[in-house]
């Protein structure tokens, strides 16, 4: 940290001038907190990090059985159904754990918030990083499955990092918004698990979004996860999947909107967190 | 260099607190409960729609933790912030360390502030001692490099070398506190804000910590704000003081003056009649209304005399009518500089059930007063049937006069400490 003497003025309702610079100065705390959450996540579990792989893998099995074998829904192009499910499940699992954990993050870290100052944005963001690490680990099953099905990726795979970042931002925006509100109104704690459960069936996780009738497709794209999941499938399944541009565009717009809303709400309430928590 | 590093002007902080309506003795009917619930729901829903805070309870009250507080602190000063519970000390520290925002007023701070409002903030029980040092250091605002450079010193100070790679949940509470404080003690900010954190840990370690803090302030010209109820450590550590009372500064000056002011303010409140004291806790099933002193024969006296018996009578009014119930009456004694000397309690003598009347008194017989002259402050607690009935901080004082303690006709005087001990001396050949 810099040693230069700087003057801080604390006044009611005064916006922090150096907020973003402050955030940068506290980057080490960000690393440490994220590192802590990652280190603690699988402590005192028997199979440890394998949990990160197990959960999407088992869900994939069940979804493949239900949606492909029982409901007889079509896959995308020639791609194996299981692979298609997995390509959608990875971003969804990331989104739901990230959003779920982030929205509770401020309240679970209330001891820090009421005892020490730092830019509070660090907490929800560091929480999302933990789910992000899980996502990276679960790419292992993706690779294993592709080898199993002898399914070679195309050049589309190079666009995957873009969609990974998009998934990150898509969960960050609502995460910030809800975690700030959850400090004041604990109702969100009950709303979120419900919303996420609901979202799993509303989003094209177990089935392809091509299964949605054409006239509803645009409306369906208002769910920002549709664009993210379609994007993942396009990258992973290559030529078997087609990008539906309106849904990608709406995802980007909605993500930006929620980021703006989330950061605004968060900044507005940030200074009162310690009093309310 | 003696410039101002902290300047506070007209600082105020408001909190909203909710109260449960007193339900009194009678049971609530279902209709009452429902209307109350509906009304409460209406209010919280309205609050939420307006984006306001939801407050639990039936009525909402404003509470000003700080009002119109102004003072300045110069570079290198070590300021003891003292005041009674609820005077606003912790709120002030929270504002200075940017945890919460003032409602009104302005604070200017020049320099990096590190605050230590709790030892071991952010310690994670599953992580090892080593990991927690880095974690806690980062939370308190140290960089990885700084921590690395001081790592050995921290471990040494905490005396936990052997357990560095053990999760801290396996630590004894003493080890935990030592490790936590060791990290904090090696902070090197320009301004250090410390809340009552020394009250944990054993006496030896407290001394070590005080020494370390003294080095930090004296050796390196850092500014320290120190909150404590422990007057001896405040006196030892601080160069000047700030006394708060009901959210405003009552005194700002040299530390000795501040402590004297604080002690005399305690006297004033305790002279208030107990019956009219408002700053008490408990469910009120029994209320202490007065405390009186009596000699051996029961005659009323104003002061205790060293070496003589003393009867302390705690007069009360209660909702009981002569039943013998479990009662827990206790009062402690603090010396003039705030040191806790002892505690008197019926429980420790085995007299656990006492008859409680509508009006009556509990009496404690102190067979031989062994205090030197002075005035001793006492906090009073009465519990009935395992519930706190009345609890008054600094409820009364016991004035003590010098006396003929050893029966030698010689007075024992104050210069040798607060306590006099019965003793027998002999000489013998080796």
Q: ipTM for the complex?
A: 0.79
B118 and B233 inside one domain: yes
d(Cα B277, Cα B329) in Å, to the nearest integer?
Answer: 18
Take residue B335 and report the two structure tokens written for it: 């010396």
B245 and B309 inside one domain: no
Place of tokens 């980007």: A252
B369 and B411 inside one domain: yes
pLDDT at residue B76, as a whole number:
84
pLDDT at residue B415, as a whole number:
66
Tally of structural domains, chain B: 3
d(Cα B58, Cα B19) in Å, to the nearest integer?
Answer: 6
What number of helices (H) and strands (E) belong to chain B? 9, 20
Give the up-direction half-sphere exposure of residue B315: CA atoms within 13 A in the CB hemisphere: 10
Task: Mutate one of B64, B101, B135 to test the A interface: name it (highest A CB count within 10 A).
Answer: B101
Does B250 fall in a domain? yes
Does B27 fall in a domain? no
Average pLDDT rounded to a whole number, residues B350-374 = 89
B213 and B322 inside one domain: no
B134 and B77 inside one domain: yes
Q: What is the pTM of this model?
A: 0.72
Residue that finishes a domain, picked among B239, B268, B297: B268
**B-proximal residues of A, 17-56, CB under 8 Å:** 28-29, 31-33, 36, 39-40, 43-44
User: What is the percent of chain A where pLDDT is above 90?
Assistant: 39
Does B150 fall in a domain? yes
The phi, psi pair for A94, rounded to 5°, reads -60, -50
| pLDDT at A17 exceeding the cut of 70 | no
Contact A140, A133 (CB under 8 A): no
State the DSSP code for A220: H
B242 and B293 inside one domain: no
Task: Mutate one of B54, B139, B167, B187 to test the A interface: name it (highest A CB count within 10 A).
Answer: B139
> 3-state secondary structure string, B104-132?
EEEEEEECCEEEECCCCCCCCCCCEHHHH
Take residue B375 and report the two structure tokens written for it: 């005035």
More confident position, A87 or A42:
A87
B102 and B245 inside one domain: yes
CATH code for the domain in which residue B197 is found: 3.40.50.300
The per-residue pLDDT of chain B, averaged, comes to 83
CA angle A260/A195/A85 to nearest 5° reads 95
State the DSSP code for B2: -
List, for residues B165-202, the tens digit of each pLDDT value.
998 888 887 788 888 888 877 877 788 888 876 655 56
pLDDT band at A215 (very low <50, low <70, confident <90, very high): confident
B259 and B307 inside one domain: no
B255 and B122 inside one domain: yes
B57 and B74 inside one domain: no
Distances (CA, A) of B218 to B115, B223, B238: 18, 9, 10
In A, which residues are within 8 Å of B113 by CB distance?
Answer: 8, 117
More confident position, B276 or B216:
B276
State the DSSP code for B25: S
pLDDT at residue A256, as a whole number:
96
Instruction: Please check whether residue B54 touches A, CB under 8 A.
Output: yes
CATH code for the domain in which residue B329 is found: 2.70.50.60
Instruction: Please check whether residue A15 touches B, CB under 8 A.
Output: no
Task: Mutate one of A3, A4, A36, A42 to test the B interface: name it (highest B CB count within 10 A).
Answer: A36
**Calculated CA dihedral for residues B51, B52, B57, B61, nearest 10 degrees:** -160
B179 and B255 inside one domain: yes
Nearest CA in chain B to A180: B51
In A, which residues are within 8 Å of B147 by CB distance?
Answer: none
Provide the residue range defining the domain that includes B126: 69-268
CA distance A107 to chain B (A): 14
B317 and B338 inside one domain: yes
């Amino acid at each position: 940290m810099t040693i230069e003497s700087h003057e801080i003025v604390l006044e009611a309702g005064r916006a922090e001038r150096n907020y973003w610079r402050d955030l940068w100065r506290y980057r080490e705390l960000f690393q440490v907190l994220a590192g802590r959450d990652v280190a603690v996540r699988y402590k005192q579990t028997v199979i440890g990090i394998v949990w990160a792989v197990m959960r999407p893998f088992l869900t994939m099995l069940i979804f493949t059985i239900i949606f492909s074998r029982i409901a007889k829904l079509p896959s995308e192009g020639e791609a194996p159904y299981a692979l298609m499910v997995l390509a959608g499940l990875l971003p969804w699992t990331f989104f739901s754990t990230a959003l779920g954990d982030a929205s509770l993050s401020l309240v679970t870290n209330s001891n820090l918030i009421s005892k020490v100052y730092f830019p509070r944005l660090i907490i929800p963001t560091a929480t999302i990083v933990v789910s992000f690490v899980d996502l990276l680990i679960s790419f292992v099953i993706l690779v294993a499955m592709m080898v199993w099905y002898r399914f070679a990726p195309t050049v589309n795979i190079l666009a995957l990092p873009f969609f990974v970042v998009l998934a990150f931002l898509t969960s960050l925006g609502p995460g910030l918004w809800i975690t700030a509100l959850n400090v004041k109104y604990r109702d969100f704690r009950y709303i979120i698990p419900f919303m996420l459960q609901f979202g799993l069936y509303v989003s094209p996780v177990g089935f392809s979004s091509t299964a949605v009738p054409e006239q509803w497709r645009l409306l369906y794209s208002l769910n920002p996860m549709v664009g993210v999941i379609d994007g993942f499938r396009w990258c992973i399944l290559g030529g078997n999947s087609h990008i539906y541009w309106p849904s990608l565009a709406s995802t980007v717009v909605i993500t930006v909107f929620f980021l703006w809303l989330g950061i605004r709400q968060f900044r507005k309430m940030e200074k009162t967190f310690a009093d309310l928590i | 260099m003696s410039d101002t590093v902290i300047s506070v002007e007209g600082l105020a902080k408001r909190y909203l607190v909710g109260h449960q309506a007193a339900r009194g003795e009678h049971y609530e009917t279902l209709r009452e409960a429902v209307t109350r619930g509906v009304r409460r729901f209406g209010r919280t829903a309205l609050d939420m729609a307006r984006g306001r805070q939801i407050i639990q309870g039936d009525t909402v009250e404003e509470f000003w933790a700080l009002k119109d507080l102004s003072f300045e602190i110069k570079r290198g000063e070590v300021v003891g912030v003292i005041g009674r519970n609820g005077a606003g000390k912790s709120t002030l520290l929270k504002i200075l360390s940017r945890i919460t925002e003032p409602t009104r007023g302005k604070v200017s701070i020049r320099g990096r502030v590190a605050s230590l409002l709790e030892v071991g903030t952010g310690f994670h029980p599953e992580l090892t001692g080593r990991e927690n040092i880095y974690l806690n250091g980062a939370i308190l605002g140290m960089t990885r490099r700084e921590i690395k450079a001081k790592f050995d010193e921290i471990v040494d100070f905490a005396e936990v070398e052997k357990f560095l790679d053990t999760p801290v949940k396996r630590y004894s509470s003493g080890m935990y506190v030592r490790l936590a404080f060791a990290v904090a003690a090696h902070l090197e900010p320009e301004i250090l804000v410390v809340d009552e954190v020394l009250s944990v840990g054993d006496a030896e370690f407290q001394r070590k910590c005080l020494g370390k803090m003294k080095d930090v302030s004296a050796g390196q010209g850092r500014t320290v704000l120190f909150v404590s109820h422990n007057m001896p450590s405040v006196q030892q550590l601080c160069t000047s003081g700030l006394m708060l009372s009901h959210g405003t500064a009552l005194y700002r000056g040299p530390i000795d003056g501040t402590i004297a002011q604080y002690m005399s303010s305690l006297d004033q409140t305790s002279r208030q009649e107990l019956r009219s004291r408002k700053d008490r806790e408990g469910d009120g099933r029994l209320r202490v209304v007065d405390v009186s002193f009596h000699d051996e024969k029961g005659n009323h006296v104003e002061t205790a005399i060293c070496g003589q018996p003393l009867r302390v009578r705690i007069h009360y009014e209660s909702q009981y009518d002569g039943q013998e119930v479990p009662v827990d009456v206790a009062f402690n004694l603090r010396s003039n500089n705030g040191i806790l000397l002892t505690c008197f309690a019926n429980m420790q003598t085995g007299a656990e059930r006492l008859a409680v009347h509508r009006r009556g008194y509990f009496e404690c017989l102190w067979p031989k007063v062994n205090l030197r002259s002075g005035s001793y402050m006492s906090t009073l607690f009465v519990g009935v049937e395992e519930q706190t009935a009345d609890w008054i901080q600094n409820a009364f004082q016991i004035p003590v006069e010098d006396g003929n303690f050893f029966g030698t006709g010689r007075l024992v005087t104050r210069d040798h400490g607060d306590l006099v001990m019965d003793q027998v001396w002999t000489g013998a050949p080796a």
